[in-house]
Chains A and B, each alone.
Chain A
Amino acid sequence: GEDVEQSLFLSVREGDSSVINCTYTDSSSTYLYWYKQEPGAGLQLLTYIFSNMDMKQDQRLTVLLNKKDKHLSLRIADTQTGDSAIYFCALYNQGGKLIFGQGTELSVKP
């Protein structure tokens, strides 16, 4: 079945880069997403990448996709305390639904 795995925690210093990783099993996914969730809030769509792309850059965010290794990453440059949140990677599969990872809690220390 489909599975999406993320590490649970990441701690960085303000100003450093953060890299959040995600591995998946279903290679038929068409869209791969990154969402951000702050406490008590819904999911905010940060960025996404099509399965036929290798990289996408959007301001401080860079998404890398390695289809061979089924690995997706999100790099946040110049991480700020406001970036502290839980980050979810999600894949839209052929079955017409988003499959989410467990979420990575990013803690940014001043």
Chain B
Amino acid sequence: KAGVTQTPRYLIKTRGQQVTLSCSPISGHRSVSWYQQTPGQGLQFLFEYFSETQRNKGNFPGRFSGRQFSNSRSEMNVSTLELGDSALYLCASSQAPSGEQYFGPGTRLTVT
């Protein structure tokens, strides 16, 4: 069974631009969560989706948004990029919200 896939793997953007990251969960998994990893703050929860509904949201500004499609694929969007948004963005999928969470390889975003 294929694992969690994330595209693109690497992105370089300029301050003020927006970006969309994509996550395809493991087949049969309906829950997708997003995390931001930085050297200073570690791993921080962004949001969780289940059956196309956002169930939980972390403490991030409204510039960070996401959605989930009927096939469970998820996208997250960051608008008006700031230098501090440079990070590894990780997506995790599970069969149900409280189940084992499997992570993708991440998208490395660099904002210049």
Which A residues have a C-beta under 8 Å from some C-beta of B? Answer: 30-31, 33, 35, 41-45, 48, 88, 90, 92, 95-103
Q: Can you name 23 A-B pairs with beta carbons within 8 Å?
A: A31-B100, A35-B103, A41-B106, A42-B90, A43-B92, A43-B103, A48-B100, A88-B43, A92-B98, A92-B101, A95-B56, A96-B55, A96-B56, A96-B98, A97-B45, A97-B56, A97-B58, A98-B35, A98-B45, A98-B101, A100-B42, A101-B42, A103-B42
Which residues from chain A contact B90 at a C-beta distance below 8 Å? 42-43
Majority secondary structure of chain A interface residues (helix, strand, loop or mixed) = strand
**How many residue pairs, one in A and one in B, have C-beta atoms under 8 Å apart?**
51
CB distance from B46 to the nearest CB of A (A): 9
* A36 to B42 alpha-carbon distance, docked (Å): 14
Q: Are B43 and A100 in contact (CB under 8 A)?
A: yes
Q: Are A42 and B106 in contact (CB under 8 A)?
A: yes
Which residues from chain B contact A33 at a C-beta distance below 8 Å? 100-101
Q: Quick one: closest A residue to B35, CB to CB?
A: A98
Within 8 A of A (CB), among B27-65: 33, 35, 42-43, 45, 48, 55-56, 58
* A88 to B92 alpha-carbon distance, docked (Å): 15
Which B residues have a C-beta under 8 Å from some C-beta of A? Answer: 4, 6, 33, 35, 42-43, 45, 48, 55-56, 58, 90, 92, 97-98, 100-106
Q: Quick one: closest B residue to A31, CB to CB?
A: B98
Q: Are B43 and A97 in contact (CB under 8 A)?
A: no
Which residues from chain A contact B6 at a C-beta distance below 8 Å? 42
Q: Quick one: closest B residue to A99, CB to CB?
A: B45
Beyond contacts A42-B4, A42-B90: 16 other A-B pairs, Cβ-Cβ < 8 A, are A31-B100, A33-B100, A41-B105, A41-B106, A43-B90, A44-B103, A45-B101, A45-B103, A95-B56, A96-B56, A96-B97, A97-B33, A97-B56, A98-B33, A99-B45, A102-B42
